[in-house]
């Protein structure tokens, strides 16, 4: 699947749509593989790896505006079914000789659509009148030769058009948005009846696909992977050990900055459950020395990153020395949003920058990125299918520099111990609270459930009294936020009883802590992490 030459794919040509990724998601949810490509993708690439169907996304521009993205007319002549939405419809119309006059009246939000009295495979099994979601100013004024109008709304006379003999279909509205009540049915009609695709892209087929591709790519060479215990690298490790067994070496560097129980879990899963070579490097002392006396957050991050590569390359060198055979491949947990976001070009265009990356000492690895076509929740589903434990698959975001950026000021082994113990209590209690909400509502991300939660250790001490003794010890700050994507976040309105329980447990159970505070700052202006 890495080269996408095995599974039939539907490409979504992106005209700068708000909903581009969403269209890809909807198609994948119907078990058909789909990729987003930029409207200015090199056409030769598309011809060389012909998609089974094409969707033209919406976009913010006016088709006649200067610099508006255009459509290479050859997309419409490939002989594969094409479905355009919104701007995608307008650009289809204007490319083929229809008109798209500028209008003063836009249409935003729900609209009542009426089907015309013509046969339409796209609208099959949908009622004559239905609610759709509109978001446009311009619209098609006259359809190109050979097209028929298939639906209208009170504002938009040509709300859908098609030319079945050329397999060209278009809607002014957005079928990918849930508010378009029969949108999913239309997508199904397009994929399964018009494009004759099968709903065969399932987690098991993805595993088979990646396994075959990786085996072909790797041959009998060695592959190395830096396993961090995060979702992506864990899924890559599970997948590759399934595909190539002991040709894979997972290097797990315990830098002493992980949460309670995590290093043990990583070791257990990848020694007992999976068949790869697992190299455990205990680098706790080394990291503690490198970090001693450093309190600047950026400096900490830099040291932690640099140390990792030192340790990792030392292990790679040992692996080569063992039998004299170089390690040819480096596996990485790059996922699809990383690919899309690194330039919003087509996935295939981005690939070329990634083929070979140079490392110090003249070392070169070729990259293997088996998850580069998958969204985060697909990666999680894949991990679950491969048998990874839930705690790994649904792990919360956790910074690469780990607890070092949750200790404000310099990092010591003693502070790490305090934070690890306090953090375990915060997580245990809020895990239980989330679980209870889930039991009540049946929704994992219900409105009140908490998205990310952890403890922070600031660089201060304060006075307290425990028993008859005066204490002078650290406070712990609880951070718990609600968010969807970490871009914005709000502090979680946790019940007072829950906060009280966490507070009394931390002070009673964690030596060196005499006070607990709750961070009530949203993002912005705060960030989720403290460093
Ligand atoms: P901030 O603190 O910027 O964090 O609001 C946003 C999200 O990113 C996570 N985060 C990191 N993740 N490496 C990572 O992989 C990092 O260095 C890092 N720093 C912050 C953070 O936990 C939150 O979910």
Report the separation in Å between the CA atom of 529 and the middle of ligand 1, taken as the mean of its atom positions: 6
Report the separation in Å between the CA atom of 528 and the middle of ligand 1, taken as the mean of its atom positions: 7
* Atom 12 of ligand 1, residue of closest alpha carbon: 399
Q: What is the pLDDT of residue 19?
A: 75
Task: Provide mean pLDDT across the span 133-138.
Answer: 90
More confident: 351 or 249: 249
| Position in ligand 1 atom list of the atom nearest CA 401 | 17
Report the separation in Å between the CA atom of 470 and the middle of ligand 1, taken as the mean of its atom positions: 37
- C-alpha–C-alpha distance, residues 264 and 270, integer Å: 10
73 pLDDT more than 60: yes
C-alpha of 495 from chain center: 31
Write the DSSP assignment of 130-172 as a string of letters. Answer: EEEEEEES---SBPPTT-EEEEE-SS-S-SEEEEGGGTEEEES
Report the separation in Å between the CA atom of 405 and the middle of ligand 1, taken as the mean of its atom positions: 10
Residue 347: pLDDT band with limits 50, 70, 90: very low
Report the separation in Å between the CA atom of 455 and the middle of ligand 1, taken as the mean of its atom positions: 14
- C-alpha–C-alpha distance, residues 434 and 143, integer Å: 53
Task: Provide mean pLDDT across the span 119-132.
Answer: 98
Q: How close are the terminal C-alpha atoms of the chain, in Å?
A: 38
| Position in ligand 1 atom list of the atom nearest CA 530 | 2
Report the separation in Å between the CA atom of 386 and the middle of ligand 1, taken as the mean of its atom positions: 27
What is the pLDDT of the chain when averaged over all its residues? Answer: 92
Q: What is the pLDDT of residue 137?
A: 86
Residue 361: pLDDT band with limits 50, 70, 90: low
* Atom 19 of ligand 1, residue of closest alpha carbon: 399
163 pLDDT more than 70: yes
* Atom 18 of ligand 1, residue of closest alpha carbon: 399
Q: Tell me: cis bond preceding 401? Omega within 30 of 0 counts.
A: no
- C-alpha–C-alpha distance, residues 449 and 447, integer Å: 6
Residue 54: pLDDT band with limits 50, 70, 90: very high
Task: Provide mean pLDDT across the span 20-48.
Answer: 93
| Position in ligand 1 atom list of the atom nearest CA 483 | 24
* Atom 10 of ligand 1, residue of closest alpha carbon: 399
Residue 76: pLDDT band with limits 50, 70, 90: very high
Percent of the chain exceeding pLDDT 70 equals 94
Q: Hey, which residues are catalytic here?
A: 86, 174, 176
- C-alpha–C-alpha distance, residues 93 and 273, integer Å: 56
Report the separation in Å between the CA atom of 352 and the middle of ligand 1, taken as the mean of its atom positions: 28
Which secondary-structure segment (H or E) carries 68? none
Closest CA to 115 of 132, 93, 101: 132
More confident: 444 or 400: 400
pLDDT digits 0-9 by tens, 172-220: 999 999 999 999 999 999 999 999 999 999 999 999 999 999 999 999 9
- C-alpha–C-alpha distance, residues 397 and 268, integer Å: 21
* Atom 16 of ligand 1, residue of closest alpha carbon: 399
- HSE-CB at 95 with a 13 A cutoff on CA atoms is 19
450 pLDDT more than 60: yes
- The ligand 1 site (C-beta within 6 Å) comprises 397, 399-401, 452, 486, 523, 527-529
Give the position of tokens 């909400």. Answer: 437
Q: What is the DSSP letter of 54?
A: E
* Sheet with 148-152: strands ordered across: 33-38, 9-14, 53-56, 82-85, 168-171, 160-163, 148-152, 107-115, 129-136
The answer to whether 375 and 383 have CB atoms below 8 angstroms apart is no
Q: What is the pLDDT of residue 441?
A: 83
pLDDT digits 0-9 by tens, 4-24: 446 899 999 999 877 788 999
Contacts of 113 (CB under 8 A, 6+ apart): 129, 130, 131, 132, 151, 152, 153, 159, 160, 173
* Atom 9 of ligand 1, residue of closest alpha carbon: 399
* Atom 20 of ligand 1, residue of closest alpha carbon: 399
Out of 297, 399, 489, 521, mutate this one to test ligand 1's pocket (max ligand atoms within 8 Å of CB): namely 399
pTM, rounded to two decimals: 0.86
Go through the domains of the chain in sequence order and give each one's CATH number: 9-194 (3.40.50.880), 203-393 (3.40.50.620), 412-518 (3.30.300.10)
1 pLDDT more than 60: no
pLDDT digits 0-9 by tens, 86-112: 999 999 999 999 999 987 778 899 999
355 pLDDT more than 50: no
Q: What is the pLDDT of residue 446?
A: 64
- C-alpha–C-alpha distance, residues 488 and 467, integer Å: 42
Q: Which two tokens stand for residue 456?
A: 């922070």
Closest CA to 455 of 527, 524, 503, 504: 503
440 pLDDT more than 90: no
Report the separation in Å between the CA atom of 162 and the middle of ligand 1, taken as the mean of its atom positions: 46
More confident: 191 or 441: 191
| Position in ligand 1 atom list of the atom nearest CA 400 | 13
> How would you classify the pairing of strands 33-38 and 9-14?
parallel
* Atom 11 of ligand 1, residue of closest alpha carbon: 399
Query: SS3 letters for 69-119?
Result: CCCCHHHHHCCCCEEEECHHHHHHHHHCCCECCCCCCCEEEEEEEEECCCC
User: Which of helix, strand or coil describes residue 430?
Assistant: helix
| Position in ligand 1 atom list of the atom nearest CA 523 | 5
Q: What is the pLDDT of residue 364?
A: 83
Out of 529, 530, 531, mutate this one to test ligand 1's pocket (max ligand atoms within 8 Å of CB): namely 529
């Amino acid at each position: 699947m890495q080269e996408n030459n095995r599974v039939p794919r539907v490409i979504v040509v992106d005209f700068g749509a708000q909903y581009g990724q969403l269209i890809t998601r909807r198609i994948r949810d119907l078990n058909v593989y789909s990729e987003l490509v930029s409207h200015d993708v090199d056409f030769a690439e598309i011809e060389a790896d012909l998609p089974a169907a094409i969707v033209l996304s919406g976009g913010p521009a006016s088709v006649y505006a200067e610099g508006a993205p255009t459509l290479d007319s050859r997309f419409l002549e490939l002989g594969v079914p094409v479905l355009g939405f919104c701007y995608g419809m307008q650009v289809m119309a204007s490319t083929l000789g229809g008109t798209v006059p500028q209008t003063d009246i836009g249409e935003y939000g729900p609209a009542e659509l009426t089907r015309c009295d013509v046969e339409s495979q796209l609208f099959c099994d949908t009622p004559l009148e239905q609610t759709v979601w509109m978001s446009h100013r311009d619209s098609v004024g006259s359809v190109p030769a050979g097209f028929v109008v298939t639906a209208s709304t009170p504002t938009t006379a040509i709300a859908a058009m098609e030319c079945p003999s050329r397999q060209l279909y278009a809607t002014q509205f957005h079928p990918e948005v849930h508010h378009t009540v029969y949108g999913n049915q239309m997508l199904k009609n397009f994929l399964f009846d018009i494009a004759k695709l099968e709903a065969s892209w399932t987690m098991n087929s993805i595993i088979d696909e990646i396994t075959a591709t990786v085996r072909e790519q790797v041959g009998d060479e060695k592959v190395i992977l830096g396993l961090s215990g995060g979702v992506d690298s864990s899924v890559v490790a599970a997948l590759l050990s399934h595909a190539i067994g002991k040709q894979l070496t997972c290097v797990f560097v315990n830098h002493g900055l992980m949460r309670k129980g995590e290093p043990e879990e990583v070791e257990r899963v990848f020694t007992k459950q999976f068949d790869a070579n697992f190299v455990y490097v205990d680098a706790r002392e080394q990291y503690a020395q490198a970090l001693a006396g450093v309190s600047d957050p950026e400096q900490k991050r830099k040291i932690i990153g640099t140390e990792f590569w030192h340790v990792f390359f030392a292990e790679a060198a040992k692996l080569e020395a063992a039998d004299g055979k170089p390690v040819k491949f480096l596996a990485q947990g790059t996922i699809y949003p990383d690919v899309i976001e690194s330039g919003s070009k087509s996935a295939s265009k981005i690939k070329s920058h990634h083929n070979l990356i140079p490392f110090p000492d003249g070392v070169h690895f070729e990259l293997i990125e088996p998850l580069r076509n998958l969204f985060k929740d697909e990666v999680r589903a894949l991990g679950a299918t491969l048998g990874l434990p839930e705690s790994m698959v649904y792990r919360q975001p956790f910074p690469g520099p780990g607890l070092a950026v949750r200790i404000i000021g310099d990092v010591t082994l003693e502070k790490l111990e305090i934070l690890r113990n306090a953090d375990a209590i915060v997580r245990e209690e809020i895990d239980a609270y989330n679980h209870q909400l889930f039991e009540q509502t049946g929704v994992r991300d219900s409105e009140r459930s908490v998205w990310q939660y952890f403890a922070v250790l600031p660089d201060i001490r304060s006075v307290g009294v425990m028993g008859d003794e005066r204490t002078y010890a650290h406070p712990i700050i609880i951070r718990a936020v609600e968010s969807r994507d970490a871009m914005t976040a709000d502090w979680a309105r946790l019940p007072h009883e829950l906060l009280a329980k966490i507070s009394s447990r931390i002070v009673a159970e964690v030596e060196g802590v005499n006070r607990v505070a709750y961070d009530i700052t949203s993002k912005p202006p705060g960030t989720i992490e403290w460093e």
